[in-house]
């Protein structure tokens, strides 16, 4: 049962990330609007610049939005939303007040993880569902159910990068160093996971639905690997438990 202290902590960590959340949400909405607004010109000119090859709107959306700008911004935003929390408070010397509350240390970690995870869900769902809506304003159609599937994959990947941010916040004492280190790690992952040996573990491909899409419409034509989703969610749970143990052992 969720008690009042947990709800208070959840609200606290939500408010701590509120500015980053709104900035990311605004950027994603702006990217979607700009991409859809430019779609007609790009689609009409594509045969001239690509040897007569035509593309459909859903393919354009996948290449420009899901695989392009949206993936980059959302991954970085998920990482940033994982920063801070009780771990940063410990490093900045403000954890004594939080730890004086009548709650277990593990509750602090769980409240932070849940607050950041909720923001990621809202961020992905709100901005991705915006695609079918804004498409209608510019004379296009995009299946709502496919947008929801893409948002699901983005959310799962977002959890991964959120935990990366949380772990780096714990292991690196200087918070100003965390972001460049995290961006470097994510960049290395992007290129390393393109190798044939690791392509099946490519989190970026998973987030964009690669391997589940039609070659012509770039919409889902295969069932998503539910097992993979449960593996990542299980990893999120185990990572949270490990953080709880690590945080329990540190001095403040």
Averaged pLDDT of the chain: 85
Give the mean model confidence (pLDDT) for residues 153-160.
93
Per-residue pLDDT band for 96 (boundaries 50, 70, 90) equals very low
Give the mean model confidence (pLDDT) for residues 64-88.
88
Q: What is the DSSP string of 189-248?
A: HHHHTTSTTTGGG-HHHHHHTTTSB-TTT-SB-S---HHHHHHHHHHHHHHHHHHHHHHH
Which of 19-23, 74-78, 224-228 bottoms out in mean pLDDT, i.e. has the lowest? 224-228
Encode pLDDT of 124-156 as tens digits: 999 888 999 999 999 999 999 999 999 999 999
pTM: 0.88
Please check the confidence at residue 84 and state whether its pLDDT lies above 50.
Answer: yes
- Report d(CA 190, CA 192) in Å as an integer: 6
Which of the two residues, 128 and 186, has the higher pLDDT score?
Answer: 186
Q: What is the pLDDT of residue 47?
A: 83
Give the mean model confidence (pLDDT) for residues 63-76.
94
Please check the confidence at residue 214 and state whether its pLDDT lies above 80.
Answer: yes
CA dist 184 to 159, 187, 201, 228, Å? Answer: 18, 5, 19, 25
Give the mean model confidence (pLDDT) for residues 92-112.
64
Per-residue pLDDT band for 23 (boundaries 50, 70, 90) equals very high
């Amino acid at each position: 049962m969720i008690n009042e202290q947990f709800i208070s902590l959840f609200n606290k960590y939500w408010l701590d990330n509120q500015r980053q959340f709104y900035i990311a949400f605004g950027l994603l909405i702006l990217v979607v609007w700009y991409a859809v607004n430019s779609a007609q010109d790009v689609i009409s000119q594509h045969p001239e610049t690509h040897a007569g090859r035509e593309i459909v709107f859903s393919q354009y959306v996948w290449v420009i939005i899901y695989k392009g700008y949206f993936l980059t911004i959302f991954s970085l935003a998920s990482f940033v939303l994982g920063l801070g929390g009780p771990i940063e408070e410990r490093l900045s010397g403000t954890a004594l007040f939080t730890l004086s509350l009548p709650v277990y240390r593990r509750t602090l970690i769980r409240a932070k993880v849940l607050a950041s995870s909720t923001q990621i869900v809202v961020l992905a769902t709100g901005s991705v569902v915006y695609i079918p809506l804004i498409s209608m304003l510019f004379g296009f159609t995009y299946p709502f159910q496919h947008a929801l599937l893409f948002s699901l994959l983005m959310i799962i990947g977002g959890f991964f990068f959120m935990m990366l941010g949380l772990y780096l916040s714990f292991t690196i004492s200087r918070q100003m160093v965390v972001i460049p280190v995290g961006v470097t790690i994510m960049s290395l992952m992007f290129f390393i996971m393109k190798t044939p040996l690791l392509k099946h573990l490519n989190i970026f491909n998973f987030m964009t639905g690669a391997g589940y899409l039609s070659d012509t419409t770039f919409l889902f034509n295969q069932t998503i690997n539910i097992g993979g989703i449960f593996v990542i969610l299980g990893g999120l749970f185990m990572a949270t438990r490990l953080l709880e143990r690590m945080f329990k052992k540190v001095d403040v």
